[in-house]
Amino acid sequence: MQAIVLAAGYGRRMRPLTDDCHKALLPVGGTTILARIVDSLVELGVTDVTVVTGYRASDVTSYLVEYYPAMRFQFIENVAYAETNNIVSLALALDQMELAGDVLLIECDLLFETRLLRRLVERQGNVALVDHYRSGMDGTVVSVMGGFVTNVYPPHLQDASFSYADKFKTLNIYRFSRTFIESTLRPLLHVYAHQIDGSSYYELVLGMLANIPAHRIAAEIVAGDTWIEVDDPNDLAVARFRFEPEQRAATLDRAQGGDWALDVQDFAFMRNVHFPTDGMIAALRHALPDLLKRYGSTQVVLNEKLGLAMELTPARLQILHGATQGFPLLRDLVGDEPIAIPTPSFGEYPRMFGHATTYGDDGDVSAILDRLAERAAAERWVTVVNPNNPTGTTLPSASLHALAKRFPGTRFLVDESFIDFSGETPLATLLEREPLTNVVVLVSMSKTLGVPGLRLGYLYSCDPEVVAAIGAALPIWNMSAISEYFLELIPKFRLDIEASVAQTISDRAELRAMLTSDPEIDAIWPSGGNFMLVKLRGSAAVAQATRQALLVAHSLDVKNVSSKFGDGRGWLRLGVRTSEENVIFAGLLRDTLAAAAS
């Protein structure tokens, strides 16, 4: 078995990281991309390697010669690397190397587990490694039928109407038989690269051969195995997340989101995993090309659409670019006036209201209502998070309405971002029936609607001065056309939303039942949110070790909230996902807690 590594390209998309370094020599996990490729070849006993160089050729050559003196390298330089594509590099390699057997073809910007390459070594004939297409992938894709590649689509064939739904991404790792190379691939590549179009991808030639029975390429699907093609700095960040598992927690904590390409299963952040439905996503997909080229409407129009979606009076609403947009506006509204906030609670409240006093959430609803009454008698503002985050403690909406009515001189700021999962009637709905001007309701819509990426939230108040003050601080275009169109779709999918919430409540009960028998869990708080709070028998250090172990071994994240309690014990907040995911998670958590406690 021989190997060809294509390493001629400049890596324009990797700039500025490649201005002074070949992209294959960029560090990942204590070594380089190129070293990982060669190490895999060495492990599989492949020591005859042809390397096609071009950009910073001497750097690549000297690196390999220095670190792998036992390898038999043949270096072939593509001097026209800046004007040609990979078809020329592969043609040069096949023209100049002495074939002694089948060939593994690998591009130099790939990170993968050695077991992927072993699949090709153990196969016979012509084989391509492919994976199901998913978000963040680019480059050549293929269709697969009956275990064979049937069509090849290089990037220039992927137009605006191209569908990726049934496509596979090539890993750019192939096995070609010696007979196929000598009789077909080498002569065809030579002609196409040097006489027709040297700026093409070699996959174009493979596509020509895909439906010729004698030259079919088998598709080896690698779903579930770890690999990544590193084309740009974002890919490099993803690669480091996958191949530097000890740093995953730090990466996630720094970003606080943006994890769509990281292959992390998220039990830390809360969203409704049963919505949007496939039908709603199809509607968004159909409208997306037009929405991308449109401005969103003004605030007054958005508030009207929000009112229709939420069945609330538009004049009492201000739609927000996510509920967090409301925090600095509310901070300005409160100013230096006395305010009470719950503890523990969502971190933005102590951050925005640094002068606040606190009242405790110990899960005792009656006692919390008594504390709220005491604070309402003493403060100008009282904040209620209902259900509270991270505890899940839920106060009756009717009791909050009565409390606000009892203290008309105190303003009540009520965060109802999780109320739909509690079984309680939203306070805003009660205020529609019996208005009170001393209540301000804040809602993050993404928790119920499952779309944190759209940044949807709103503020509700029966006080026109409050509504006007918030509105005056918002820009003329405060929401994307995509978010606005989603808002328009909500009434059409109201029954689906209700069904998804009911399913989440059922999933929460099921997950709670599974966790109750875990010997390392001391208590599970009753929750009205799409999450639950668990108190561990172990310390805060056990909670941190558990999160780290889950991320390293399973790329699964949970929220360590031990610092919010300050009692030295371990506390985890667990988001509710699908029933199937929850079953797997409960087992992994049990095993990980047991290991962390031992």
Domain ranges of the chain: 2-239, 246-272+501-597, 297-479
Task: Give pLDDT tens digits for 21-35.
Answer: 899 998 887 889 999
Average pLDDT of span 454-475: 96
**pLDDT confidence of 341, banded at 50, 70, 90?**
very high
Average pLDDT, the chain: 92
Span 124-132, mean pLDDT? 89
Fold agreement between 246-272+501-597 and 297-479: no
Beta-carbon count within 10 A of 555 CB = 17
Q: Return the percentage of the chain with pLDDT > 70, whole number.
A: 100
Task: Determine the pLDDT at residue 138.
Answer: 74
Give 262-310 pLDDT, tens digit per residue: 888 999 999 999 999 999 999 999 999 999 999 999 999 999 999 999 9
Closest CA to 444 of 323, 550, 543: 323
Res 578: pLDDT: 95
Q: Report pLDDT for 48.
A: 92
Peptide bond into 289 cis (omega under 30): no
What confidence score (pLDDT) does residue 226 get? Answer: 80
Q: Of 329, 265, 311, 300, which Cα lies nearest the Cα of 466?
A: 329
pLDDT at site 11: 78
* Whether pLDDT at 394 is above 80: yes
The average pLDDT across 468-490 equals 95
Q: Say whether pLDDT at 132 is over 90.
A: no
Residue 53 DSSP class = E
Binned at pLDDT 50, 70 and 90, residue 464 comes out as very high
pLDDT given for residue 465 in this prediction: 96
Residue 461 has pLDDT above 90, yes or no: yes
Q: What is the mean pLDDT of residues 356-383?
A: 95
* Residue 390 pLDDT: 96
Fold of 297-479: Aspartate Aminotransferase; domain 2 (3.40.640)
Confidence of residue 527 (pLDDT cuts 50, 70, 90): very high
Looking at 209-218, 458-467, 516-525, 577-586, which range is the least confident one? Answer: 209-218
Type of residue at 578: T
pLDDT of residue 186: 92
**pLDDT band, residue 141 (cuts 50/70/90):** confident
Residue 220 three-state SS: strand
**pLDDT-wise least confident of 76-90, 194-208, 317-331, 475-489:** 194-208
Retrieve residue 180's tokens: 């196929």
Residue 30 per-residue DSSP state: T
Report residue 40 as tokens: 């895999």
Q: Is the pLDDT of residue 208 over 90?
A: no
pLDDT value of residue 334: 94
Q: Is residue 331 very low, low, confident or very high in pLDDT (cuts 50, 70, 90)? A: very high
So what's the pLDDT on residue 434?
97
Q: What is the mean pLDDT of residues 347-357?
A: 92
Question: What's domain 246-272+501-597's superfamily in CATH?
Answer: Aspartate Aminotransferase, domain 1 (3.90.1150.10)
Residues 90, 176: Cα–Cα separation, whole Å: 12
Pairing status of strand 439-444 against strand 411-415: parallel
For the four alpha carbons of 504, 505, 506 and 507, in that order, the dihedral sign comes to positive
Mean pLDDT over 40-51 rounds to 93
Q: For 556-587, write each residue's pLDDT tens digit.
A: 999 999 999 989 999 999 999 999 999 999 99
Q: In CATH, what number does 2-239 get?
A: 3.90.550.10
pLDDT (mean) for 388-407: 97
Q: Which of 192, 197, 213 is nearest to 94 (CA)?
A: 192
Q: What is the 3-state secondary structure (H, E, C) of 533-564?
A: EEEEEEEHHHHHHHHHHHHHHHCEECEECHHH
Distance, CA of 217 to CA of 207 (rounded, Å): 10
Span between the terminal Cα atoms of the chain, in Å? 47
Q: Which pLDDT value is given to residue 243?
A: 83
Task: Using the CB atoms, write b or e for 366-387: b if 16+ within 10 Å.
Answer: eebbebbeebbeebebbbbbbb
CA–CA separation, 239 vs 368, rounded Å? 47
Q: DSSP characters for 385-435?
A: ESS-TTT-----HHHHHHHHHH-TTSEEEEE-TTGGGTTSPPHHHHHHHS-
DSSP 8-class letter at 493: G
Token readout for 52 is 């096609």
| Distances in whole angstroms, Cα of residue 70 to Cα of each of 47, 65, 74, 204, 467 | 8, 9, 13, 35, 74
Q: Pairing relation of β-strands 439-444 and 556-557? A: unpaired
Phi and psi torsions of 395, nearest 5°:
-100, 145
Q: What is the mean pLDDT of residues 192-212?
A: 82
Position 240 pLDDT exceeds 80 = yes
Bridge partners of 444? Answer: 457
